Amino acid sequence: MTNFRVFLITLFFVLLTITNFIPKKLEAATTRAFFVFGDSLVDIGNNNYLATTARADSPPYGIDYPTHRPTGRFSNGVNLPDLMSQYMGFSEPTLPYLSPELTGQRLLLGANFASAGIGILNDTGVQFVRILRMFQQFSMFEQYKQRLSVEVGADEANRIVDEALVLITLGGNDFVNNYFLTPVSARSRQFTVPQFCTYVISEYRNILTRLVELGARRVIVTGVGPLGCLPSQLATRSINGECVDELQQASQIFNPLLIEMTKDLNTKLGYDVFIVANAYQMNMNFINDPQNFGFVTSKVACCGQGRFNGVGLCTPLSSLCPNRDVYAFWDSFHPTQRALGFIVEAIFNGTSDLMSPMNLSTIMAMDNNI
């Protein structure tokens, strides 16, 4: 062979290696899967497929969604997982696991298993009848992994789950739709608030441990928000619109226990699997100073009826505010899309008092360098 032919052949292989290498790297960077577990704060439509009263599939839900139609999200527009997908640069939002569209290559993007009304405890949300409790969300996740294996092979499926980002949002309903649902509840007869928090955290620890067994390696866990400031609680328990002490205290007992519990798990696992988002403080920032965030109120819900527009459900007959962007709360329990934007900003770029032990930008930078 002449030197020139050797050169051409070498060049060919060099180019082959480079062209092979670059698309793979890019592909890997843009296809990190996203898995979501939890309640109505992160449900993007699973309950549409269930016989439950916990649903957001009629107007005016979705009024500010790109299609202006209800989607099952408890928001005027998109919700937390959508915004996270967007900022992570994913080409498409993750689909609800029960959606018939979640097939084929779309499985590679992850899946959302969340179901409105559920809690850490199985007895939370019994009034909503058929909803997907955590053990059911996890068995669907196992089913998902099998379907993914069929699609891409077992090794690739394991890699996808291994490198994925997970979001889990639980706990609020164990208080507002269980312990504090009625003036006296079975759980409030059984436990004081601090005892209940300790019990719920011990069950949450089991759930998070199971999540790691199922393959999760990077998990954002949101603490509970300022439950006493929800319009639903202002409507029923607040005399003058002050956030309700008893529920605020419950959040303030629960959240430090959550941080302590996840720190302990991280220590045992040998690295920071669990990252806690301080949802309490993230919400309090705009609740304490709504005007500074461009809201006219943080007490009155946009869609509802009665005191603080916080009584009952948001339905086509409810009173509806004309401009959702100037309200912190969309309905009696859930923030508006715009308020969620401030929360997502804090999840990505917040200081260590908001994201423990570090924010999502830092995590993404670390994970991309592995």
Ligand X SMILES: *[C@@H]1O[C@H](CO)[C@@H](O)[C@H](O)[C@H]1NC(C)=O
* Residue of 134, 139, 138 whose CA lies nearest to 118: 134
H-helix or E-strand containing 282? Answer: helix 279-288
Residue type at 162 in one-letter notation: D
| Integer Cα distance of 67 and 228 in angstroms | 33
How far is Cα of residue 64 from the mean position of the Cα atoms in its chain? 20
Catalytic site includes residue 68: no
Shortest gap between Cβ of 13 and ligand X (angstroms)?
39
Shortest gap between Cβ of 207 and ligand X (angstroms)?
8
Q: Are 277 and 355 in contact (CB under 8 A)?
A: yes
| Integer Cα distance of 331 and 77 in angstroms | 12
Shortest gap between Cβ of 80 and ligand X (angstroms)?
11
Closer residue to ligand X (CB): 123 or 289: 123
| Contact residues for ligand X, defined by CB under 6 A | 87, 121-122, 135, 203, 344-345, 348-349, 351-352, 358-359, 361-362
Shortest gap between Cβ of 347 and ligand X (angstroms)?
7
Closer residue to ligand X (CB): 87 or 312: 87
Of the listed 39, 238, 331, 332, which one is catalytic? 331
Closer residue to ligand X (CB): 124 or 248: 124
Of the listed 40, 251, 318, 332, which one is catalytic? 40
Catalytic site includes residue 58: no
Closer residue to ligand X (CB): 84 or 300: 84
| Integer Cα distance of 101 and 206 in angstroms | 32
Burial track 161-191 (b if 16+ CB lie within 10 A, e otherwise): beebbbbbbbbbbbbbbbbbbeeebebbeeb
Shortest gap between Cβ of 275 and ligand X (angstroms)?
11
Of the listed 85, 174, 334, 356, which one is catalytic? 334
Contacts of 38 (CB under 8 A, 6+ apart): 114, 118, 167, 168, 169, 170, 222
Closer residue to ligand X (CB): 115 or 318: 115
Catalytic site includes residue 264: no
Q: What are the catalytic residues?
A: 40, 331, 334
